[in-house]
Amino acid sequence: MHSPVFPQVLTGAVMTKGLRVTDLRLNVSATGDDIVDEVRISIEPGKVLALVGESGSGKTTVGLAVLGHSRRGVTIAHGRVECADTEVLGLDDDAKRKIRGELVSYVPQDPASSLNPALRIGVQLMEALEVHDFGGSVESRKVRLKQMMEEVLLPTDDEYLLRYPHQLSGGQQQRVGLAMAFACRPSVIVLDEPTTGLDVSTQEHVLKTIRQLTRDHGVAALYITHDLAVVADLADDVAVMYAGRIVECGSVKDIFTNAAHPYTKHLVIAAPDIEGKKEIVGLAGRAPSPGKRPTGCSFALRCESADDACRSVFPAEVSVATGHVTRCIKIGKLPNVVVVKPRASQTIESGASVVVLQDVSAGYSGKVVVHNVSLSIRRGECLALVGESGSGKTTVSRAIGGLHREWTGSMSFNGAELQKTARRRTSGARQGIQYIFQNPYGSLNPRRTIGESISRPLAIIGTSKSESRKAVLDVLEKVNLPGSYAGKYPDQLSGGERQRVAIARALVSNPVVLVCDEVTSALDVLVQAAIIDLLGDLRKQLGLAMLFVTHNLPLVRSIADEVAVMSEGRIVEVGPAESVIGNPQQAYTKSLIMATPSIERSMR
């Protein structure tokens, strides 16, 4: 199935520094099924290679294997990992422990959970130096510690080092993670989605720090992410993973302007961008998981151009251009634009205002966090409410949904005043305003079938069983799910499918307004694009008004007509999406947009 010899296209010369991974395979220990296979990567010192792919594609597995580590239930089957001059996988446990942190280090995805809650950050940072006896003496380690803090732009005073992780902000925690990773001046560093969950301005600082440190110290960085805009901004080279294989690898330019593999093309098309309005297009289906992968190309199941040849044997690596390789037997024979979706007119006629907020202030236990917000959402219109975490956007949306009772001011729905909680609202208002939650894994009752979950609102208003069944099938069709899904349970569905079910459950009440609270932030980019596409279609077909709450500015361009920018509980700018994002007037909006990485901007 795999051949150990590959044409040497990426780098001709033998490297003595940097990272080289060859023919890496990791198995599910119990079954021997491949999680990743035939992985080949090489990164030169001072360069950043981005490893991109959907969740479950094996990115983190590869990243950990670079440190010779595999999680419970996973076995490193074979391969070579060379960090500078050292082959990592052949080392015994003690030797592996020695090189971890010293020769190759790791920056984890979630800094909050990766720092020990019971140890002060100074102790944890010092430990990174102590375990490798860095500097040879306590005094020189103290000097290095101060230097590390400076490198990541954190305060160097003793009081700060005495803090516990929970006393730092998310951005500061991630800087501590970075400081720890760079502590012993490693040759190779693996960064596993280090900015996921951070606000854009914090992300910008962290990315800048990463770029600076890798360049200054000649570190080869493997940057794992699913965010293509970050890739375009930060990386030199990109490796695209799909179902455990690297399907395409090349320079950033190669990948974004001349993608060869159909999967890469789909990824690029699905990524929203803050520069220029772009129709994002999703892709149905999901990548096969370990043990269920076909003998042929694993993307063939979703590929428009796949034929029998694709399905019979896994494609070997072929060269597209110098330093640009892919695993597809049809390169050059693929349609250039993968999907062109015929679209109705971009803007729909907006009707009368259906939800109007006037001077709404809201808070928690007496502490006001939202100040004097006035908004209106018109029929058929999508209003995006954007802002960083803590800006109050979710509080506003929950108040509209009747889920948050501590607010003052006035709110009306179809001209009638709205009560504070959903329980006290009229059934018309309750059905008219439907809420869709961020996390489709938590918002569906795992003990109910999809059909039961969807028909629940109907049961409450006393719809008959047969009518309910018809309504369920009807809304499932609207969200492009087969009717047979009514009998399934949530755990049998993928994240994207669950979010479709959540949308279907909202639609069954014939709503006028959909409140969408970060509905795509837990989803992969292709799935996100498909959900955005679906919401756009529904809006047009049903004339729905939509409040789209998000921190993802690029996405706003692809879905919203109007946008309201929130900061520290206030609306700082509101207007048509095109003009607010294309030509922002307020300093805050400008800084937010400048901090947001963009593929187009990076390609210029």
Partner 1 sequence: MSIFKFVLRRLAFGLGALIAISAAIFFVTQGLPADPAKTILGRDATPENLEALRAILGLDRPLLSQYFGWLTDVVRGDFGTSFTTQMSVSTYLGPRFGNSLFIMLIGTIVSIPISLLLGGYMALKRDSLFDSSSSFATLVFAALPEFVMGTGLIVIFATTVFQWFPAVVFLDEGAAPWSDPMGVVLPITTLVLGCIPYVSRTMRASMVEVLESDYIEMARLKGVSERNVLLRHAFPNALGPVFQVSALNIAYLVGGAVIVERLFNYPGVGSALTDAIRVRDLPVIQFLSLLIGSVYVLTNLIADVATVLVTPRLRTTLK
Q: Note the residues at the interface with partner 1 (CB under 8 A).
A: 64, 67, 69, 71-72, 97-102, 105-106, 108, 110, 113-120, 127-128, 131-132, 164, 166-167, 180
Write down the least CB distance from residue 122 to partner 1, Å. Answer: 13
Q: Is 352 exposed, middle or buried (0-12, 13-18, 19+ CB in 10 A)?
A: exposed
| Contact indicator for 581, 274 with CB cutoff of 8 Å | yes
Q: If you compute the radius of gyration of the chain from its CA atoms, what whole number of angstroms results?
A: 26
Place of tokens 């001209």: 415
The H or E element that residue 357 is part of is: strand 353-364
Write down the least CB distance from residue 109 to partner 1, Å. Answer: 8
Distance CA 257, CA 602 (A): 11
> What one-character-per-residue DSSP string does 527-596 give?
HHHHHHHHHHHHHHHHT-EEEEEES-HHHHHHH-SEEEEEETTEEEEEEEHHHHHHS--SHHHHHHHHHS
Write down the least CB distance from residue 365 to partner 1, Å. Answer: 13
Query: What is the maximum alpha-carbon separation in the chain?
Result: 78
User: In this structure, what DSSP letter does residue 132 have?
Assistant: T
Residue closer to partner 1 (CB basis): 56 or 101: 101
Residue closer to partner 1 (CB basis): 184 or 526: 184
Write down the least CB distance from residue 129 to partner 1, Å. Answer: 10
Write down the least CB distance from residue 419 to partner 1, Å. Answer: 34
Write down the least CB distance from residue 343 to partner 1, Å. Answer: 43
The residues near 387 (Cβ < 8 Å, ≥ 6 apart) are 393, 551, 565, 566, 567
User: Which stretches of 404-534 are assigned E, i.e. beta strand?
Assistant: 407-413, 416-417, 433-436, 513-517
Residue closer to partner 1 (CB basis): 155 or 483: 155
Write down the least CB distance from residue 190 to partner 1, Å. Answer: 9
Place of tokens 């580590």: 69
Residue closer to partner 1 (CB basis): 189 or 377: 189
Residue type, 138: V
Residue closer to partner 1 (CB basis): 72 or 341: 72
Give the residue among 56, 54, 78 at the shortest CA–CA distance from 65: 78
The H or E element that residue 189 is part of is: strand 188-192
Residue closer to partner 1 (CB basis): 125 or 531: 125
Residue closer to partner 1 (CB basis): 114 or 463: 114
Query: Sheet of 570-576: strands edge to edge?
Result: 433-436, 513-517, 545-550, 382-386, 562-567, 570-576
Enter the tokens of residue 188: 């190779």
Residue type, 441: Y
Write down the least CB distance from residue 311 to partner 1, Å. Answer: 38
Residue closer to partner 1 (CB basis): 47 or 132: 132
Write down the least CB distance from residue 442 to partner 1, Å. Answer: 20
Write down the least CB distance from residue 206 to partner 1, Å. Answer: 17
Q: Is 587 exposed, middle or buried (0-12, 13-18, 19+ CB in 10 A)?
A: exposed
| Contact indicator for 193, 224 with CB cutoff of 8 Å | yes
Residue closer to partner 1 (CB basis): 180 or 240: 180
Q: With helix as H, strand as E and coil as C, how does 30-84 read?
A: CCCCEEEEEEEEEECCCCEEEEECCCCCCHHHHHHHCCCCCCCCEEEEEEEEEEC
Residue closer to partner 1 (CB basis): 104 or 267: 104
Write down the least CB distance from residue 17 to partner 1, Å. Answer: 20
Residue closer to partner 1 (CB basis): 74 or 229: 74
Residue closer to partner 1 (CB basis): 165 or 282: 165
First to last CA, the chain: 40
Write down the least CB distance from residue 126 to partner 1, Å. Answer: 11
Give the residue among 559, 548, 451, 457 at the shortest CA–CA distance from 510: 457
